[in-house]
Chains A and B, each alone.
Chain A
Amino acid sequence: MALLEIRDVVKTFGDFTAVNHVSLSVEAGEFFTLLGPSGCGKTTLLRMLAGFEQPDSGQILLDGKNVAGVPPEKRPVHTVFQSYALFPHMTVAQNIAFPLKMARVPQADIKARVDEVLDDVRLTQFATRFPHELSGGQRQRVAIARALVNRPRLLLLDEPLSALDAKLREEMQIELINLQKEVGITFVYVTHDQGEALALSHRIAVMNKGQVAQLDVPETIYSYPNSRFVADFIGQCNLLDATVVAIDDGKMKLEIEGVGIAEALPVAGAAVGARGTLTLRPEKIKLGASLPAGDDHEVHFKGKVHDCLFLGDVTIYIVELDNGTLVETMLPNAASGRARFFDDNDQVELAWRFDAGHFVLA
């Protein structure tokens, strides 16, 4: 039985449907992420798990029990807030002791548990400090320690890293993964940052307009997006309008108007004549002045360099296809002493293995 099961949950605010018939389940010990742009309903869903909002319809089952109507304080669920919400009038130790006091843990045990968790997040020497005397990263760790100290069944994290700068964020990501492994508590993590979601999660639910657009492991979400929205939202992706012209032999032929025929893996539901989008990650495209013909499994197109963006480790080349579509490609700068291989308006060739692209129906 799944630890958390969300069944057909709907939540509206006036005319606005924040969460629209969402169903999903989270296994015990999982690091599960709700990913989506702002307004997609991920925070509302999280608030319903915490008990701050009640679903209009549908069920939320925790350990098989419906938690509808159970107030936040009675749920074995704790939240790490985006603003951290550390009590400014309490020290670090008092903040962490708060949930234990609420649960009427004996005073002696409180001390031990607080010390233990302070040690876990490496803040022992800050126990008597007040939140405003800490750095952003330290506050973050106090917030997590406070939410973990009485071992909730479920830890909810609402964009916990969004207030930190880029470098610190990366450090905290690693720390979060390790912490989750160590404590073994189920994490439900909300973020709009696709990179963070890919790096941290066991599974990701990509949300759009109140619904789950795709739910899968990060690798599948990245390589095989099931819709134009997911492809566009996760990472950089080229989106080429295409029509299915033939399906045979485990391959599908797609016509990209004004450019030519591309091959791809067949997808369920795509019949001849179906219109859709060929999604193609920039790093999967080979680029050269003239590429060898290669085998049958490669797709070849010609184009002209439109822009070059030197990023240090790689250089991005935006290539204009014959029909005017711009395709993003990248070349690593590893072996080259030169800053760039091509200049604007150079004629180039593009190629990719047929199964590197992924067709999604419109």
Chain B
Amino acid sequence: MHSKQSKWLWGAAGLVYLFLYLPLIIVVVYSFNDSKLNAEWVGFTFKWYEILFNDAQMLTAARNTLIIGLVTSVCSTVLGTLAGVAMYKYKLRLLPVLVLTPIAIPEILMGVSLLIFFVMLNMTLGLVSVTLSHIAFCIGFVAIVVRSRLQGMDESLVEAARDLGATPVQAFRLVTLPLIMPGIIAGALMAFTLSIDDFVITFFTAGAGASTLPLQIYSMIRIAVTPEVNAISTLLMLLTLALIVIASKVAPGAIKAQS
């Protein structure tokens, strides 16, 4: 009786996994279809990738995305690690609220408030405004990962280091930092992924100045869908997959911390 039940459940679970993956597989398959429509399978081709690599706008967008992603990742990892350590070490009132709220509220709220803010400052919307915004919402994710890593650490380790002759700074550098490193790496990767994937906040803070890949994809699928979108989507998925593989090699704990 038991095995019959779980057979049904596994069937249902299999369907949920299919539901999660089938759409993405379709996107990949159609990126090689020799037809302008994502409908009938006509034949195999690489031409959408060729078009993609000759699309100057798309390449600029890719470059922008990468720059924003890298700068965001570095800055939010530093600030987020500080925030995570501060939230673990001290009883603070304001910082946790400021760190956690941007994650909890719908992205659009942050997008529009930053839009008003930058316009009031007479800032030209572009790479800088997008990056500043991305850092603001990535800090929280890094902080949470770092804090949970710290919470999982035996507190007496730091005391042991002090007891054995390490100054507070040495104890942090030699014991705490190496132990939370997987969390920091996970946070950095997370910030990078969140940044290169972000659409909503970028949409409001980019203006005409800086297009990113998500913005480019958005305008393409809104106006005229061509398999070029499938091609860029496939490449982006490959990039993410590569990041995950790297992460699991560099910091085996990182993937787990992220989930």
Contact = CB atoms under 8 A, between A and B. Distances in A.
A79 B163 contact: yes
A71, A81, A103, A146 interface centre (most CB from chain B within 10 Å): A81
B98 to A, nearest CB: 29
A98 B164 contact: yes
Interface in A79-99: 79, 81-83, 85-89, 98-99
A102 interface: yes
A99 B165 CA distance: 6
A217 to B, nearest CB: 29
Contacts of A88: 157, 179
A344 interface: no
B11 to A, nearest CB: 39
Nearest to A149: B164
Contacts of A77: 163
Interface string A95-115: 000110011000000000000
A103 to B, nearest CB: 5
Nearest to B162: A72
Interface string A46-83: 00001110000000000000000001110001110111
Interface residues of B, number: 17
A217 B224 CA distance: 91
A204 interface: no
Contacts of B112: none
Contacts of A86: 160
Interface in B142-168: 154, 156-157, 159-167
Contacts of B160: 79, 81, 85-87
B124 interface: no
A73 B167 contact: yes
A71 B162 contact: yes
Contacts of A98: 161, 164, 166, 174
Interface string B188-209: 0000000000000000000000
Given A52-B159, A79-B160, A85 B154 contact: yes
B159 A89 contact: no
Interface string A162-190: 00000000000000000000000000000
Contacts of B174: 98
A22 interface: no
A72 B156 contact: no
A42 to B, nearest CB: 16
A307 B174 CA distance: 59
A78, A102, A146 interface centre (most CB from chain B within 10 Å): A102
Contacts of A150: 165
Contact of B178 (A79, A82, A89): A89
B179 A78 contact: no
Given A87-B175, A88-B179, A78 B164 contact: yes
Contacts of A99: 164-165
A81 B178 contact: no
Contact of B164 (A82, A83, A89, A146): A146
Contacts, number: 60
Helix, strand, loop or mixed for chain B's interface? helix
Interface string B166-180: 110010001100110
A116 to B, nearest CB: 17
A102 B157 contact: no
B163 A73 contact: yes
A102 B159 contact: no
A198 interface: no
Contacts of A50: 159, 163
A237 interface: no
A18 interface: no
A9 interface: no
A147 interface: yes
Contacts of B156: 81-83, 85
Interface string A135-166: 00000000000110010000000000000000
Given A85-B154, A87-B175, A88-B179, A103 B165 contact: yes
Interface in A208-233: none
A320 B190 CA distance: 71
Nearest to B178: A89
B163 A78 contact: yes
A71 B162 CA distance: 8
B77 to A, nearest CB: 20
A247 to B, nearest CB: 52
Contacts of B161: 87, 98
A147 B156 CA distance: 14
B161, B162, B165 interface centre (most CB from chain A within 10 Å): B165
A87 B162 contact: no
Interface of A: 50-52, 71-73, 77-79, 81-83, 85-89, 98-99, 102-103, 146-147, 150
Interface of B: 154, 156-157, 159-167, 170, 174-175, 178-179
Q: Which 5 A-B pairs have the closest CB atoms?
A: A102-B165, A85-B160, A99-B164, A85-B156, A72-B162
Given A73-B166, A85-B159, A102-B166, 18 more contacts: A52-B159, A52-B163, A72-B159, A72-B163, A73-B162, A73-B164, A73-B167, A78-B164, A79-B159, A81-B160, A85-B154, A85-B156, A85-B157, A85-B160, A89-B178, A89-B179, A102-B170, A147-B164
